[in-house]
Amino acid sequence: MLDKNKQMARRSLDKRLTPLRAAINSFTAREGWIRTVRTALGMSGPAMASRMGVTKQWLNRLEQGERSGSATIASLTRAAEALECRFVYAFIPYNSLEEMVEVRAREIANREVKRVDQTMALEDQQVSRKELERRVAEYIRDHIRDADLWRDD
């Protein structure tokens, strides 16, 4: 059976992530956040570099690194502080965590139950779709644990 404590933790985290997941599509900065915020504040590159205690060239490399994905978290945090902002780092799932676990558990159960069903079909003992769904639900309940969901075997 899937762990109830982990299920509660997933639901709690899903609740906290829902507003972020809903808003994430509107949070894009084509030029990168450093340059976008800096420009919106009317702060020049040299002024920003000075606030960070770095050269203008270093700031340019950081802004390019942000756009390409190679900037470090430490550098982005430092830039955010120079802009009097907070750097936020998060993993935002495409779907709810609970849904991801349910889908994965169903995939595993379907694979195992269908393996048995194929054998039964060869013996002309195939079961109805409703019975197959019942067996999948039973398999999830009785055999699948959180730790089993993401193994590759």
| pLDDT, tens digit only, all 153 positions of the chain | 578 889 899 999 999 998 888 787 777 788 999 999 999 999 999 999 999 999 999 999 999 999 999 999 999 999 999 999 999 998 989 889 999 998 998 888 888 888 776 655 555 566 677 888 888 888 888 888 877 788 875
d(CA 147, CA 124): 35
- State which residues form the domain around 103: 1-18+95-153
| Phi, psi torsion values for 144, nearest 5 degrees | -95, 130
Count how many domains the chain has: 2
Residues 3 and 145 sit within 8 Å (Cβ to Cβ): yes
| Whole-angstrom distance, CA of residue 115 vs CA of residue 95 | 28
User: What predicted TM-score, i.e. pTM, was given to this entire model?
Assistant: 0.71
89 lies in some domain? no
Distance CA 97, CA 13 (A): 8
Q: Are 98 and 10 in contact (CB under 8 A)?
A: yes
Task: Let me know if residue 24 belongs to a domain.
Answer: no
Tell me whether residue 109 is in a domain. Answer: yes
Q: Residue 65 CA to chain centroid, in angstroms? A: 22
Contact criterion met (CB below 8 Å) for 50 and 83: no
Given 60, 82, 104, which residue is the final one in a domain? 82
